[in-house]
Structure 1
C-alpha cells in the first residue's frame, strides 16, 4: 500500500515537472534543502532536473523563475 502511494506521488511530481509547474519545481527544491542539501548541491540538482525536462517545460520554469525574481526585489 505504501509503495503504491509513493509511486503515485512520484508520478504526480513527474507530471508537474514535465508541464513546467513552478510550484512543483519550487517544492522539490525546498525538499532537497530540508534534507540537508547545500545551496550549491540543490541548485546543481535542480539545474540537472531542468535540463532533463522537455523544452516547453524548461521555458515555463525559466519564465516563472524570472517573474518570481522580479517580484522578490
Structure 2
C-alpha cells in the first residue's frame, strides 16, 4: 500500500513508557527502535533513526506517524 502522502518511505511508531518512565518508540514493521526522556527528545531521535534506517538525507523524505499508547 502506498503512503497517503505519496512519499517513498513510511514509518509507523508506537510509543510506550518503560519501567523507568522513558519514552520508547518502535516501528516493528521496519525494525526501527529509539527512545527519549521527553517527547521533544523522542521526536528528534525518531527523525534521526528514520534517516539512518532508510539511508536518506532528511526525515522529510519519509512519512512518519507516531501513536502514543
Please tell me the TM-score bracket, short chain as reference. Answer: 0.3 to 0.5
Bigger Rg, structure 1 or 2 = 1
Greater helix proportion: 1
Greater strand proportion: 2
TM-score by length of 1: 0.35
